[in-house]
Structure 1
Amino acid sequence: MRKPILTFLVLLLTTGLMAQSKNDRAAILSILDRQTADWNAGNIDSFMNGYLESDSLMFVGKNGVTYGYQNTYQNYLKRYPDRATMGTLKFTILNLSFPGKDVAFLVGKWHLTRPQAGDVGGHYTLLWRKIKGKWVIVCDHTS
């Protein structure tokens, strides 16, 4: 009698974890879709809503490490001062995993189509944390 009960409990827990991952995956992909739309509308203010609004936010790019939400925001404004330099963003997700409770790790490709300024692109990794029920990017490494 113990074996069927144990099997049932394992299946119940596994199913619950998979459902959680599906919901979390959908939430993260929804944030990325919204960020893409915000970027393509020229709205960096709204694009930033996917990031942790804290001094502990870390952005790693070709110029090194930037700490803090405000510094990251200012760097976006400086690098992309107008629609021509912003171009049209496309994200391609290569891998999204959940290495721990309330932690997600995403690897992807980005591409900006910019007819006037020339296309650019590269890869990125995002470390996400679920804080107070909301997924936010706590570290972005884009190259």
Structure 2
Amino acid sequence: MKNILILFLLFSLSITSFAQTVKSKDVAQIMQTFQNQQKAWNNGDLEGFMNGYWQSDSLKFIGKNEITYGYEATLNRYKKSYPDTATMGKLQFDILSFKKLDKKHVFVIGKWHLKRDEKEDLEGHFTLIWEKINKKWVIIADHSS
């Protein structure tokens, strides 16, 4: 009986360790996407910034005034709101919370800050739902304000 209990505990620990390893890999992939987005934004590359988003008509972007549906509509919204690099400024993300909901979904809360020379700086918060689609983590819903 004692041996069975020890085997059960070892099995449980190995499952927990495996789950943590998978989580660390997922976190690293998502954090790399944040870095890629920040670099693209800071280079004035909105299309590159959008590489972190799900390229689907089902993408949802919730801003302070409206909900935008779809990848192309979200990209066009960014282009309208940030028509040039001076307006875009330099983007900095600060991740506040990272919660894996299940093996395919992650919920992230963070802050964004735009440092701008010619205009007033902007900042706010965001909540993102990420989904693993075709072995890639992408944002399927973005609520930024």
TM bracket, shorter-chain basis: over 0.9
Among all aligned residue pairs of Structure 1 and Structure 2, give the percentage whose two residues are the same amino acid: 44
- Compute the TM-score of the two structures, normalised by the length of structure 2: 0.97
The structure 1 segments of at least 4 consecutive aligned residues displaced by more than 6 Å after TM superposition are: none
Structure 1 residue aligned with 2:23: 21
Residues matched between the structures, number: 143
Supply the RMSD in Å over aligned alpha carbons. Answer: 0.6
Structure 1 residue aligned with 2:42: 40
Q: Using the TM superposition, give the Cα deviation of residue 47 of structure 1 relative to its aligned residue in structure 2, in angstroms.
A: 0.6
Q: How does 1:54-65 map to 2 (within 5 A)?
A: 54-65=56-67
Uncovered stretches (5+) of structure 2, i.e. residues with no partner: none
Q: Does 1:139 align with 2:141?
A: yes
Q: Does 1:107 align with 2:94?
A: no
Structure 1 residue aligned with 2:130: 128
Whole-Å separation in 1 of the counterparts to 2:126 and 2:18: 30
Q: Secondary structure at the match of 2:118?
A: coil
Q: Using the TM superposition, give the Cα deviation of residue 117 of structure 1 relative to its aligned residue in structure 2, in angstroms.
A: 1.4
- Compute the TM-score of the two structures, normalised by the length of structure 1: 0.98
Q: Secondary structure at the match of 1:54?
A: coil
Whole-Å separation in 2 of the counterparts to 1:63 and 1:71: 15
Structure 1, residues 52-93: CA drift from partner, whole Å, max 9, x if none? 000000000012111100000000000000011000000000
